[in-house]
A and B are shown apart, each in its own frame.
Chain A
Amino acid sequence: MSSKRVYSICAMCTGRCPIVVDVEGNEVEHIWGNPNLLGGYNLCPRGAAGKALLNDTERPKNPMIRDGERGSGKWRSASWDEALDYVADGLKKTIEKYGAKSVVLSDRGGAITEFEKTFIAAIGSPNYFNHHATCSNSIHNGHLSVAGLARNGVTYDYKNAKYLVSFGRNLLESLVTGEAKNVIDMIENGGKLIHIDVRWNYTAAKADRFFMINPGTDYALALALIHVIIKDSLYDADFVNRWTVGFEELANFVKPYTPEFAEKETGISAAEIVKLAHDVGNAKPSVIFHLGWMTAWYSNDFYLRRAICSLNALLGAYEAKGGLIINKTPKDVGKPLKSLLAQVPKPTEPRFDGCGTKYPHLSGQWGLAQELAHVLLTDEPYPVRAYIVFRHDPLASLPDPDYIRSAFKKLDLLVSIDVNYSETGWFSDVILPEDTYLERTDHVIARNGPKPGYILRQAAVQRRFDTRPRSWIFKELANRLGVGQYFPYNSIEELIAWQLEGTGYRLEDFNEKGYIELVDKPIMWDRTNGLKFKTPSGKIEFFSKKLEDAGVPSFIPYEKPIELKPGRFRLVTSKCAIHTQGRTTLNNKLLNEYVNENHLYIHEDKASELGIKEGDLLEVENEGEKQYIKAKLTKYIHPEVVFMLHGFGDSVPLRTRSYGRGASDIRLQKGLAKVAIGGNCPYTECTVSVKKVK
């Protein structure tokens, strides 16, 4: 039996599942899901494998300073004082010469982001951004424009849903423990899962119906569903009348998008489209059209996602049992946490990435990571010369990393702060190693949802190497730059006590269940008068004056996907349950044992035409970039598509288990580090040729 149990938050992916860590002495015995929040000790394979991270020596063990050309792999160990001074001196020089705004900082996003956001604002730079350009920017900006809510501003009430429609959201492989479990509960309770994708996967395998859609035509399907729902009066008229603006405009806009039109585009029969519209119409409002997570697909993602939000609104699914429950925050129940960031004057200069200026409709909250390389190379709108990259790996996630890397050469200072070695870390000037999530305590975060509360990541064991927690690293940097007053604590315990001031709670209160619940029952706002949509009208905006004023139409016509040239395939990528984040999972000893290379899935008819057999080594090419990968043949992929797991082709030699294994998707995605209208990179517009290596 373990000597103690520590409640915490997982960090193997950004799902941030609540966990409980069994500890014996200073060793982790086992990591489980927190039963008080998950209804059991359930935890996904990545979470279970967190144990292998702790004692892994293939992670940065002490501060490192570059001792050769960038990327040469020559490093020297440094003390924390030396490394922090090195970073601070570099930042000071940059600020002196180009101004504070020439320092930019990015992270992986999420809720535990106060330290770095506070730091970058404190030194006077408006330039915080995160990885979401390569992930959910289009749904984030889309949902904000329709409902005034962030991508994660709602909680899906899966357990009570009668219909769950997923446009390519691979819920059961790119999985978060509680979500996957709830979706399975829904299926067991008789709820129907409809999965729409260009390839079959394990989510499709559990679906009531699976539609293999023609690539890039999802928008036509969404518009046709809206068409039928309006034409056949399947929508929730009370909700639409009370809570939406622009219904007439929407109805007019979708008139041409008949099921017959959509059948030609999508390959899904008109009868099936009509049936689906009626099924969800009959099940309303207990319907979820999943908004999506990784939605960096196409140039028109913004409009696909707006259409999906609109489907939820038409069916009255917002704030309905079995629908999308608007998240409530501790502030909504009068118990806000104190925030470090709120103490810092907001920098007033325009952002480097054009959010709010060049792109007036895009939120600077998450920013545009793909703009950094262009800004570096052109010095427009102004020079950027220092970049702090924190638990984020743009060179492993942005399209066309060779291009990005070449732009990074223009930086005077590139700093990587991370638990893991990363592609970006390998190319940086300094690596500041962070404690793993099992070794550090972070600031308290709000648990937004139907039942708002607080939750905390707490150290389970003592640190193994000469690493430090983020709370300390950013405070030390702030001290060196003369803005230490914004980090008014001497220990994490002191900070937590300050955060909780006025709430009536203390640090010890997390020990009972691993979180603090602020209400007994879920808060459901009154659907007649109580809903809060943070749009200018306070309602769902099918038509958005704010967008139109920014020169962005509320609706755009459907356009056919970019034509596929003969001999080419559309490259599509996704995740599996073992690896959802290359940086944190690929080189993990336990996870690497399970999946240590990716394969190219290709339709068996196409393979046959190309003389490709199962297991053959293939050359996959785009614009001169060649990647090598083994073939897997399948019937269940769209013939235009080839598929590989994202994140492979690791080029960091210190990660010996994943180094050089498999093919890199992003290296093939040439020229796609660009800003689509939703703020996303259009990854899926990459096409490749495939041939067998003789």
Chain B
Amino acid sequence: MGKYYIFQDQKRCIGCYACELHCKTKNNAPEGAKLCRIVPTGPQVVKGVPRMHFVFMPCFHCEKPWCVYACPTGAMTKRSKDGIVYVKSDLCVGCKNCITACPWGVPQWNSETGKVMKCDYCMDRIDQGLQPACVTGCTTGALKFITPSEASQIKREKFAKDISPLKKQ
């Protein structure tokens, strides 16, 4: 099952693309391949000021990953211990079926190797007790590598603070 979750704190994100650059350098992604993305949306006026919402899109590491089912060679794999979906590069034949199958455009074409590459949460770093490069390098510390239940807790706490009558003392 998918153990991990990247939480993006919208209040901290400034849309600078440092997450993407750290991802690209860590994973040696060639031109055109972006394993995670920041998609700026807006501006839209909220409380008198035009605001931005920067949507962070790594791989969601689905419980039922369509890319894995679509892969004919077994290259696209879900790691049983923590649910990370990753590519066994030596098995990938570059058929691009996973690119077709993924509803969110996550698998990326590596023009240098002729194979697919994708966000694996920087699995090698995780196995060393580290965090994904996007999270570690983020300029403002807007990304947090946590579990889905921790993410839920962060949101609940924020919401509770927002609705509490005691919030502004």
Contacts and interface: CB of A to CB of B under 8 A. Distances in A.
The answer to whether A binds B is yes
Interface stretch (B67-75, B77-85, B132-140): B132-140
Contacts of B16: 44-45, 172-173, 175, 180, 577-578
A33 B133 CA distance: 12
Contact of B18 (A43, A52, A205): A43
Nearest to B19: A45
Contacts of B22: 30, 43, 48
Interface in A43-58: 43-45, 47-49, 51-52
B128 A1 contact: yes
A546 interface: no
B26 interface: yes
B24 interface: yes
A577 B137 contact: no
Nearest to A593: B31
Contacts, number: 109
Question: Which of B16, B52, B141 gathers most chain A CB within 10 Å?
Answer: B16
A375 interface: no
A577 B18 CA distance: 9
A184 B49 contact: no
Nearest to A210: B49
Contacts of B11: 184, 187-188
A32 B139 CA distance: 10
A202 interface: yes
B25 A42 contact: no
Contact of B14 (A49, A206, A589): A206
Q: Taking chain A's interface residues, is the majority helix, strand, or loop, or is none over half, making it mixed? A: mixed
A209 B14 contact: no
Contact of A44 (B31, B52, B139): B139
Given A31-B25, A49-B25, A205-B50, A578 B128 contact: no
Interface in B62-103: none
Contact of A42 (B24, B26, B42, B139): B139
Question: Which of A45, A172, A188, A636 gathers most chain B CB within 10 Å?
Answer: A45
Interface string A19-55: 0000000000011110000011111110111011000
B15 interface: yes
A70 to B, nearest CB: 34
A180 B140 contact: yes
Interface in B112-148: 128, 133, 136-142
A630 interface: no
Contacts of A187: 11
B155 interface: no
A57 to B, nearest CB: 16
A88 interface: no
Interface string A198-240: 0010101111111000000000000000000000000000000
Contacts of A184: 11-12, 14, 140-142
B165 interface: no
B14 A180 contact: yes
Contacts of B12: 184, 188
Contacts of A52: 25
15 contacts: A1-B128, A30-B22, A30-B25, A31-B25, A39-B141, A42-B141, A43-B139, A45-B17, A45-B21, A173-B14, A175-B14, A188-B12, A202-B52, A205-B51, A209-B49
Given A30-B22, A187-B11, 19 more contacts: A32-B137, A41-B137, A42-B138, A42-B140, A43-B139, A45-B139, A175-B16, A175-B139, A180-B14, A188-B11, A202-B14, A204-B49, A205-B49, A205-B52, A207-B49, A210-B49, A577-B17, A594-B20, A636-B43
Interface of A: 1, 30-33, 39-45, 47-49, 51-52, 172-173, 175, 177, 180-181, 184, 187-188, 200, 202, 204-210, 577-578, 589-591, 593-594, 635-636
